[in-house]
Structure 1
Amino acid sequence: MARRWWRRRVLPPGRRGRCADGSPRRRSGGGPAPRADRHRRSATRPAGLTQAVTQRTEAAGVEGRRLFHRDFSFWYVARSISVAGTAASAVALPLLVYRTSASPTLTAAVVGLEALPYLLFGLFAGAAADRLPRKRMMITADVCCALLLATVPVAALFDALPSWYLLIVAFGVGCAFCWFDAAAWGTFVRIVGKPALTRANSLIWSTEIVLEIAAPAAAGLLAAIADPTLVLAVDAATYLVSAALLAQIRTGLESGPTVARRLRAEIAEGVQHLWRTPVLRTLTAAGFGLNVAAGGVLGLLVVHADQALGLRPEDQRLGLLYAAAAVGSLIAAVLLPRASRWAGQGTVSIVGLVIFVAALIGLAGTSAFTLALAGWAIWAVARLTVNANGITVRQLLTPDALQGRVNTTGRMLAWGGTPFGALIGGLAGDTYGVRVAYLMLAVPVVLSLALVVASPVRGLRIAVD
């Protein structure tokens, strides 16, 4: 009489579905033996195997989830709403400063002051994100940004809005963003899981860039028709909505139990991981050079539109320049995953740096509005490609327990070039004009390109999924 499946002897994991000699068991029809009912087999699974599976599941965290689960949806919507408001403010704040001061240096200083907090507090924020509640850090930062931005339209109502106050607001928003971003790196990896990082990053960047296409154009139109302070009031509201959505996330966002250590030791651990990994070290240094140029270029966008293209700050077409840059970033976000798989992350960085230099030279030489639109789009393709590629590589090569420290340290050093670029660009714009300033800002990118070509990054290729 044939032996029934529920009476079979339970075999070790490596022997199930095999005969005594180790060969695969076959059915009489030639196919493989039917699998036993999973629920019944799990009940007879050896204790050691069950414990191993449990540990593996816990270690994987959320990595086994589909991308659009509940918590990622809250994260995705919160970030999208916040980005829309921030993209609008990126137009409104420089416009307000340029209107009140007519100074290229002060206008460029807006971008520099927003990035400066990363240099001052980045290491501490990264260490704090790996030991403090990450969700609470993000919500607190969102609320602080909302309160700061709300003071601008209130001050405008009382006709008390000098340029120096706008620079203070820019610095305060940068401080809040620094602490938010430190926590966000760790939570993002926890919510998405490393196997889905490239897909999730591409989706988030694509969505953000679509919003950055519409928001600056709408902000420029609203600022021309009404007042830039109204744009900042809307941005303040988006930060509050973002905080409310983040509060709904249920996934455990902490890195797990940690041994209490001195803050200096935790900071040193993140810095050491970044420094001892040659690929991360090189990409961080190259990112610094790239963002020196980006800080100056973005800081002088309003000045470039005025001096090179003949667009006054009240011109509604000014928002289209920001929108063109967002279109280029969207193209880069869509193509980046495919380009990384096809050519490798190293080649992607090299090509992006070359395109960045070419686009910047083109912007310095043109006076035509349509050519400037194309130049900004191409420049943005290169900028996002290099930055996003570096971020993804850093996420992939960093353990979860170090995500906050390593990513914040890397971003602090790479993005730390932004205030220097804003200062250099502003001073060069005041002294030599915006065209010469743009050509000067291409130099650090050329140096970054030489560094990447001479390093192990040149042949870098990481299998993502």
Structure 2
Amino acid sequence: MTATRTGRDLLALPGFRRWYAARMTSLVGTAASGVAVPMLVWDRTGSATATAAASGLALAPYLLFGLFAGAYADRLDRRRLMVGADAAAAVLLATVPLAALFGTVTAVHVLAVVVLTGTAFVWFDAAAFGALPQIVGPGGLQRANSLIFSTSTVVGIAAPALGGLLASVAGPETVLGLNAFTFAASALLLRGLTLPERPAAKAASIGADIAEGLRFIWSEPRIRALTFAGFGIACTGGGALGLIVVHAHELLHVPDWKLGLLYSATAAGSLLGAMFLTRWTARFGHGPVSIAAYLTELAMVIALAAAGPGPAAFALAVAAWIAWDAAHTAAVVNGITVRQLLTPDALQGRVNTTGRMIAWGGAPIGALAAGGLADLVGVRNAFLLLAIPVAAGAILLLASPVRRLRTIAPPRS
């Protein structure tokens, strides 16, 4: 395996091509549903809290199942686990358009589907964290993560706008039905994936496996700092994205068709962050890039709080969302890559799923808190309060060894 791989080298690998096609196929539907779900809940309830919950609850299952999913993913066949999770998500999403045929779609039904598909994703993600290093090798990890994120956001630029348009014409339920088809297609693609053989798992209890993963996270100071700082940035990010529909209506005063443009702006920012991350880390180092990303997101959340109505203000809000998600993506992808590179293969599922569980645990907390705050003190004040968690994360990184992290030693075997 070469020390590094370009995007073309990665796509020359049959396993990565299949993996890549599966992930991008399911993403098309997921990105469109990211607009349709909050639109559907907002239409049914008119509640900022419920609408924010539609975004935050998708990540809540990580708090419940992350530890167990990671431990089992290090024991089970990773390919089968990914296929099963995608198939389950397809069936769950299909229930929404089916209910629409009978006129029985409710916000409770939609939120239940959000939680259950989020649960399926936890198990998929646990297996995926270990599968990707098996496919591309250590030298290809950062490039693979950046390629996946950058292509994902190219899809995300178009899909939210199209999803918003389709939802306004045919109804949000139709978009969720299309998402069910994309998950089914992803499951079929992954059925043909071949992964290298792995050593048999040690004969230990699941509790012992979980404890081993937790000990590794705590004992590696760079992973520990990035994980707990990640809670802060996820809290801010979950709250901001959870309120994007409410932000558009209450502060920007834009019509529904422009909602897709705001989601596309976040996708454009994510694309920039993923595209330039390898270049930034090569020049400045992993630690400084993470710290700069946290500080940029802090500034953009404050800028979004100052947004108001009018074409010029809408343009500034679009620019702020672009810069916000460029910083957010750079921080997330960089943190994932560092964690994967510092973790041995036998611990990949546990360490990465637990790390994401802790970090992403901030997203539903932030979304639910932001929705409640928006109802209590207004959207503008809610955004100002969302600056606190990401600021705390930046302070934690500045006080940790991450500040001096420039290059990463080869992963331990």
Corresponding residue to 1:176 among 120, 125, 132:
120
Aligned 8 A contact 1:198 1:464 in 2 = no
1:251 maps to which residue?
195
Corresponding residue to 1:116 among 60, 63, 66:
60
| CA distance in structure 2 between the partners assigned to 1:103 and 1:66 by the alignment | 48
- Displacement after TM superposition at 1:462 (Å): 1.8
| CA distance in structure 2 between the partners assigned to 1:455 and 1:259 by the alignment | 33
Deviations 1:14-69 (A, max 9, x none): xxxxxxxxxxxxxxxxxxxxxxxxxxxxxxxxxxxxxxxxxxx9xx9xx9x94221
Aligned 8 A contact 2:62 2:361 in 1 = yes
**Are residue 262 (structure 1) and residue 205 (structure 2) matched?**
yes
**Are residue 72 (structure 1) and residue 16 (structure 2) matched?**
yes
| CA distance in structure 2 between the partners assigned to 1:407 and 1:255 by the alignment | 18
Please identify runs of 4+ aligned residues in structure 1 that moved more than 2 A: none
Corresponding residue to 1:300 among 243, 264, 269:
243
Aligned 8 A contact 1:293 1:442 in 2 = yes
| CA distance in structure 2 between the partners assigned to 1:378 and 1:137 by the alignment | 36
Corresponding residue to 1:357 among 298, 312, 320:
298
2:392 maps to which residue?
447
Aligned 8 A contact 1:141 1:180 in 2 = yes
Larger radius of gyration: 1
Higher share in helix: 2
2:217 maps to which residue?
274
| Aligned-residue RMSD, C-alpha | 1.7
Task: For CA contacts below 8 A with separation 6 or more, give which structure has more relative contact order.
Answer: 2
1:224 maps to which residue?
168
1:31 maps to which residue?
none
| CA distance in structure 2 between the partners assigned to 1:179 and 1:403 by the alignment | 13
Aligned 8 A contact 1:255 1:400 in 2 = no
**Are residue 317 (structure 1) and residue 258 (structure 2) matched?**
yes
Aligned 8 A contact 1:115 1:419 in 2 = yes
Partner AA of 1:283 in structure 2: L
Aligned 8 A contact 2:285 2:407 in 1 = yes
1:215 maps to which residue?
159
Aligned 8 A contact 1:324 1:376 in 2 = yes
Corresponding residue to 1:326 among 236, 244, 267:
267
Partner AA of 2:171 in structure 1: D
Corresponding residue to 1:424 among 369, 372, 377:
369
Deviations 1:375-434 (A, max 9, x none): 110110111111111100000100011100000000000001111101110110101111
Deviations 1:175-223 (A, max 9, x none): 0000000000000110011111111111111110100001001001111
1:196 maps to which residue?
140
| CA distance in structure 2 between the partners assigned to 1:356 and 1:267 by the alignment | 32
SS in 1 for 2:375: helix
- Displacement after TM superposition at 1:372 (Å): 1.1
Partner AA of 1:326 in structure 2: A
**Are residue 382 (structure 1) and residue 327 (structure 2) matched?**
yes
Output the TM-score relative to the length of structure 1. 0.85
Aligned 8 A contact 1:273 1:406 in 2 = yes
| CA distance in structure 1 between the partners assigned to 2:328 and 2:183 by the alignment | 26
Aligned 8 A contact 1:130 1:255 in 2 = no
What is the count of residue pairs matched by the alignment? 403
| CA distance in structure 2 between the partners assigned to 1:200 and 1:246 by the alignment | 17
| CA distance in structure 2 between the partners assigned to 1:394 and 1:85 by the alignment | 28
| CA distance in structure 2 between the partners assigned to 1:97 and 1:359 by the alignment | 27
1:413 maps to which residue?
358
**Are residue 286 (structure 1) and residue 286 (structure 2) matched?**
no
1:134 maps to which residue?
78
2:150 maps to which residue?
206
Aligned 8 A contact 2:342 2:409 in 1 = no
SS in 2 for 1:308: helix
**Are residue 371 (structure 1) and residue 312 (structure 2) matched?**
no
SS in 1 for 2:192: coil
**Are residue 395 (structure 1) and residue 336 (structure 2) matched?**
no
Deviations 1:155-178 (A, max 9, x none): 111111111111101100110000
**Are residue 343 (structure 1) and residue 246 (structure 2) matched?**
no
- Displacement after TM superposition at 1:259 (Å): 1.9
Aligned 8 A contact 2:74 2:349 in 1 = yes
Structure 2: runs of 5+ lacking an equivalent:
none
SS in 1 for 2:257: coil
Deviations 1:81-104 (A, max 9, x none): 111111111111111000000000
| CA distance in structure 1 between the partners assigned to 2:9 and 2:38 by the alignment | 40
1:155 maps to which residue?
99
| CA distance in structure 2 between the partners assigned to 1:248 and 1:464 by the alignment | 33
Deviations 1:87-134 (A, max 9, x none): 111111111000000000000111221111100000000000000111
Partner AA of 2:232 in structure 1: G
Structure 1: runs of 5+ lacking an equivalent:
1-56
1:458 maps to which residue?
403
1:25 maps to which residue?
none
SS in 1 for 2:204: coil
Output the TM-score relative to the length of structure 2. 0.95
